[in-house]
Every structure is written in structure tokens, then in C-alpha cells.
Chain A
Amino acid sequence: MRTETTVKTRAKIFSRPEIQTASLIVTWMPDAGKVGAGVAEYLNKKLGGFVFAEIEPLEFFPLDGVSVEDDIAHFPETKFYCCPQKNLMIVKSDLPRFEWYDFLVTMLDIAEEICKVKGIYVLGGMATASAHTIPRALLTVANSSQTKRLVENYDVVSNMEYETPEGQRPTINSFLLWIAQQRGIPAINLWVQVPFYLVAIEDPQAWKKALDFLDRQLELGVDFSELNDRIARQNQRIAQVRSQHPDLDNFLSRLESNLGLSTSESERLIRQMEDLLR
């Protein structure tokens, strides 16, 4: 399944880290609750990750201008980080718009050729109707029954049943899982829940859920103190919002009691939380 176009034409390799049989964590931007970027940046910061390669954007992104995100011009990037002491490789990438197959093949070519990757964890946030005070669930999808056994001892939901509904298409995460399966690389999709009103903001609690799993699974020894502070700060801000806005407090209380909100109430909650927490 490898294409003739090699890593050389689609990627820039800055250095060849001396790691073998590495684990690969793949993260995307944008992602619900900024889970992908949050986890990748935290791991790189705590584990001393450095960039050793990148995929050129030309074939995979429109490049018809730049987007502006949080007041800053953004250019699409796909960066490969390495944490040699932990035998870990991290990909932090904008979600490609075109040629997913060629993109993913290039990514796995780099991972296999340079770091001899032995296992892949693909991260994604998924919106949930639950409140932020309810613990996040982590759902897993493995690309083989043997791989599934690796996660069964953890606090994860590992028995998902799913078929793409009519009119929708599978995610790039499923495509990556399938390509890894064709290459015989064990791979797991990790879907962490993000309360729907934090999807466009950030959800450090969701980052922690994913990080906690990766820390234990890959024995990374991550220091969580900085993240715990960030979670505490966000919880404090939400508590403040609740005390100042009784209508929002009412919506959140209903979610905490497993009572649903109407579409207009949900939209109002999203809009106001975005305004107040950003």
C-alpha cells in the first residue's frame, strides 16, 4: 500500500533521533476542547519533545490564504516531535483538507522509517451532553482484538458499537487506524468526552483524562501539577459564571441532573460560555 512518492518529496527531516520501537501519539487541530493540541503541547513541554520532521502542506491544504485564530495568522503545519528518553514520538497536525490517504501514508512512512514505531495512539475529543462536573469518559477503538486487550485493564469504554450513519463520512482517525491495520501496526483511537459547551473553548479536564491513560500505558512519568492548576482555574471561572448568571447555572444544574436542554437553550449556553470564558 505504499505509494511511489517517498518521504523525501513530501516531508522535511531535520534530524534522525536515535529511538527504536517507539510509540506514536497522533493529535489533530482543530479538535473538540483543544484536546489534540492540549495533550501534544503538555507532553512536549513535560517530556522535552523536539521537532525532528514535518510534512509539507502543499498537497494537503488549500493554501488559498491564511486563517486567523485567536487574533494570529495561522499556517497549516504537521510537526513530528520526539521524546527520546521516553521512546515517544508525537505528531501535532492541522487536519488535512485533501488527499488523506497520501497524507497518512507519508506520516506512517516517517514513523516507521525513522522511529520504527510499534504502536499508535490517535487522539480525538468528542462532544457530550454531560456537564463539566461529571467525570470524562475515554472510549477506545482498536484495530485488532489483540490490540484491544492492551487497554482492557484501564478505566476506558472499550466495547463501542458503531456504524457511520447515512449521509456522514468516517473520520481521519478511523482511516489512520485502518491503514495501520493494513501495515500490521497495532493502533488505538482514543476518544475523550468534552462537554458540548467547552468544545470550542478548551477542556483541560479532558486533556487530563487522555494524558492519564497515556501516562500509565506508556509509563511516561508525567508531572500533572501544572495541568491540575489549569483545571482548577477553569473550574473556578465556571463557578464564577454560575454565580453571576442564574440562567446558565440553571442549565448546568439540569445537565448535572441528567435533564436535557432544548436546542435553543443549548445554543444559548454554548454562546454565553464562549463569550464569558474566552
Chain B
Amino acid sequence: MGIVFYKEPELEAPLLIACWPGIGNIGIIAVDALRKMLGAEELGEIEPWEFFYPKKVVIRDGVLKALEFPTSKFYFKRTYKGDLLFFIGEEQPGTGAKVYAEGTKAYKMANLVIDVAAKFGCKRIYTSGAAVAPIHHTTDSRVWVVPNSESLIKEMKGYPNTVLMSDIEGRGGQGNITGLNGLLLGVAKKRGIEAACLMGEIPIYLHGFPIPYPKGSKAVLRVLEMILGVEIDMTELDAFAKRTEKEIESIYHRLPAEIREHLDKLASMTYIREAEPGPITEEDKRKILQEIDKLFKKESGED
């Protein structure tokens, strides 16, 4: 088990942006779009066979020609603002039917990614995922930020449209990030590297549907734009968001009117602590959130 490098570039204290698929593919869409926009080059990959089952066999004229596995690839890019490393995992290594990685395989893969970060003298790591939140799909997503060190809190809070766990009512700064987008923060901390996870919000009523949520990805990209000091062209992502919005509207209108009536209220409220009272009273807000919790029989969470 190991890492194969195609190139050995000289990089100066790069930032690593790493991501695996999760709810709404929010993180992976954002990170992959950034990688493509910046024209990052392939650097290497993690050998897949111990982590994944094969995904495709190709047989030609009775002979096995190829056995393909999900890829776990590294990329690099030198920019005038600083060097960047990317890691994009096509799947989370799992056992059985679980979507999110856990246990030995997850820990091994996280360590391999950190090995590459350490090899190139990486100074900070960002991962990205989704924050399942009581928001309406017509409102813009915010970005929940979870750093692995207290020293990063001030900086993270300084980026526009970001939310810390302690900003969210009723959470008391607590939560969890499932799978490798979260685990990598912990392994980085153990190995002395700063890291933060950027999670774009997805409406609570959409997280169970197998559709992407590029609106959340766009919010993550806006934060990365500030962090990296680069300008990101959102044209393609905007078009993608428009296309999925139609699909979401169609799902939304298939929901029973009674449920839709509850969900519509999300468009005019916030679950973030506010300095000034909003258009809905605190009591109203509490009731609406309770009703929505009942509807989905689970609390909001993150991936």
C-alpha cells in the first residue's frame, strides 16, 4: 500500500485542499471546480486496491484488459499567491454498504494524505463538506467552519458568510463531521498541522436526495477565494446551480402542501444567533424548528 508520484515538484509551504464525496457533493464539487479552474497538474495517487473494491472490469475478446478502482489523486499548482496541493478522493474507503469511511481504512488513508502534506512542507489543510441546516433552498448557503485549533478561530470568523458551531443556536459549539472530511482534521491535529473544514449549507429536506447542491459549493468557493486570494470564475457553477434548482423545485412541489407550508417559513428565518431581532419572533422560530425536526425525525448535522 502506498503512494505513487508522477512528479516531484519543488513547492514552498503549500496549502492542501482535500476532499471526498459527501452529502450533496458540496465539497467535492467546490474543490474539483477550483482545481480545474486553476489548471492544477497531476502529482500522484494513493494505490487503491487495499482501500476499494474494483468499480469496473473491461474484458475484450475474452481477455481481462483492465480492472478500474475509485481514484484518490493528488494535484499541485504554483500560483503567485502561493503554492497549492489538492487531494480528491472519488470515493470514501468503506466497509460494506457504508458511504462514509471509518475505522482502520479511513485512518490509514487520512495518514497517507497527511504524509504527502508533510513531504511537501504543507502549512495548512482545508477539507470541505456539507452542513445540513434548517434553511430554504431559495436562500443563499452560508459556510460552517470547523478548525482543528483555537488559533484559527479568529481568522476563520473573519471570512464573510462563515459560521462557527458556537454561532448556531442550541449547539453550544458542539457537532460532528462524519467521514474523512472530518477525520482528516483530527489526524492533521495529531501530526501538528493546522486544518479547517468548510461546510456549505444544504437544506435539511434535501440531504436525503441523491442530487448535488452546487449552491452550497459556491458558498464554499467564495470563502476559498478569500483564503487563497484568487479570483474564481463562477459562470459554470452558476449554470450548474440553475439546472439543479429546477430539479429541486420539482422535488419541492411534490412534497405535501402541509409540509411545504412549514418549510416555506424557513425562507424568512435564521437559526444563527442574531444581535437584532428578525422578522420572526424567537417563539415562532422555536416552534418552526421543532415542527421541521418532527417532520424529518432527526436533527440537523454535518458530513
A residues adjacent to B (C-beta < 8 A): 1, 3, 97-98, 100-102, 140-145, 148, 157-164, 169-171, 174-175, 177-179, 181
Q: Which residues of B contact A (CB under 8 A)?
A: 1, 49-50, 53-64, 67, 95-96
Tell whether A161 pairs with B61 under 8 Å between CB atoms, given A98-B95, A170-B67, A175-B67. yes
Known contacts A3-B1, A141-B64, A174-B67; A162/B53 CB under 8 A: no
Known: A161-B59, A163-B57. A101 touches B64 (CB 8 A): no
Interfacial chain A residues near B54, Cβ < 8 Å: 169-170, 174-175, 178
Q: How far is the CA of A254 from the CA of B209 in the complex (A)?
A: 43
6 more A-B residue pairs beyond the given contacts A100-B53, A159-B61, with a C-beta to C-beta distance below 8 A: A98-B95, A101-B50, A148-B62, A169-B55, A177-B64, A181-B64
Residue of chain B at shortest CB distance from A178: B67
Task: Knowing A170-B67, A174-B54, A178-B67, say if A101 contacts B49 (CB, 8 Å).
Answer: yes
Query: A175 to B69, alpha carbons, bound, how many Å?
Result: 10
Q: Enumerate 20 A-B pairs (CB-CB under 8 Å) in ascending A order.
A: A98-B96, A141-B63, A143-B63, A143-B64, A145-B63, A148-B62, A148-B63, A159-B62, A160-B59, A161-B60, A162-B57, A164-B58, A170-B53, A170-B54, A170-B67, A171-B57, A174-B54, A175-B54, A175-B67, A178-B67
Q: How far is the CA of A143 from the CA of B62 in the complex (A)?
A: 9
Q: Please give, as numbers and ranges, the residues of chain B lying within 8 Å of A143 by CB-CB distance.
A: 63-64
Whether B55 lies near A174 (C-beta < 8 A) is no
- Contact of B50 (CB < 8 Å), options: A3, A97, A175: A3
Which residues of chain B have C-beta atoms less than 8 A from A145's C-beta? 63
Minimal beta-carbon separation of B256 from chain A (angstroms): 30
Task: Give CA–CA (A97, B96) in the complex, Å.
Answer: 7
Nearest CB in chain A to that of B52: its residue: A101
A144 to B60, CA, bound (A): 11
* Distance A174 CA – B69 CA, assembled complex (angstroms): 12
- Whether the pair A160, B56 counts as a contact (CB closer than 8 A) is no
Check B63 against A174 for contact (C-beta < 8 Å): no
Query: Are B62 and A142 neighbours in the complex by a CB distance under 8 Å?
Result: yes
Task: List B contacts of A141 (CB < 8 A).
Answer: 59, 62-64
Complex interface: chain A residues within 8 A of B61 (CB): 148, 159-161
Residues in chain B near residue A169, CB distance under 8 A: 53-55
How distant is the Cα of A210 from the Cα of B196 in the complex, in angstroms? 57
Flag if A162 contacts B59 (CB, 8 Å).
yes
- Point out the residues of chain B lying under 8 angstroms from A181, CB to CB: 64
Residue of B nearest to A187 (CB): B64
Do the beta carbons of B57 and A170 come within 8 Å of each other? Answer: yes
How close is A60's CB to chain B, nearest CB, in angstroms?
A: 11
- Across the two chains, which residue of chain A brings its CB closest to B49? A101
Q: Which residues of B contact A161 (CB under 8 A)?
A: 59-61
Query: Cα distance A164–B59 when bound, in Å?
Result: 9
Asked whether B64 lies within 8 Å of A163 as measured between CB atoms, the reply is no
Most chain-A Cβ atoms within 10 A of its Cβ — which of B53, B56, B59? B59
Q: Give the docked Cα–Cα distance between A163 and B62 (Å).
A: 12
